[in-house]
């Protein structure tokens, strides 16, 4: 693909509607500090600092499609629990239709 075709494709992202079908999960990134190394095994004993949660798998893809300017339509199942609510809130607050 030459650069002009690429520029043309990117400029049309805002006109695109993209169906994103797949597993929608919640990714959680936990940040810790290493306290010490365990005496029983060569593993770190860590102290929890904080965490962040983001839509993962197809949810991440939908967020990426949105960030490129296209209109994503996520198709998947989320639970009726705290994690599912968090995913739906992230989608809704980013301007995605559910």
Q: What is the pLDDT along the chain (98 residues), one digit of tens a residue?
A: 689 988 888 889 899 999 999 999 999 999 999 999 999 999 999 999 999 999 999 999 999 999 999 999 999 999 999 999 999 999 999 999 87
- Say if CB 18 and CB 71 are below 8 A apart: yes
Structure tokens given for 13: 């992202």
pLDDT of residue 1: 62
Instruction: State residue 82's pLDDT score.
Output: 96
Q: Give this prediction's pTM.
A: 0.80
β partners of residue 11: none
95: its two tokens: 């301007």
Q: Which residues pair with 74 in a beta bridge?
A: 20
Which neighbouring-strand residues pair with 25? 56
From CA 57, how far away is CA 22, in angstroms rounded? 8
pLDDT at residue 98, rounded to an integer: 77
Residue 80: the pLDDT is 95
């Amino acid at each position: 693909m030459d650069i002009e075709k690429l520029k043309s494709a990117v400029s049309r992202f805002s006109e695109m509607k993209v169906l994103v079908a797949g597993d929608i999960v919640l990714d959680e990134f936990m940040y810790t500090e290493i306290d010490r190394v365990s005496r029983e095994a060569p593993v770190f004993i860590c102290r929890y600092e904080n965490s962040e949660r983001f839509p993962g798998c197809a949810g991440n893809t939908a967020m990426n499609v949105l960030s490129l300017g296209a209109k994503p339509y996520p198709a998947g199942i989320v639970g009726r629990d705290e994690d599912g609510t968090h995913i739906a809130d992230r989608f809704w607050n980013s301007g995605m239709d559910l």
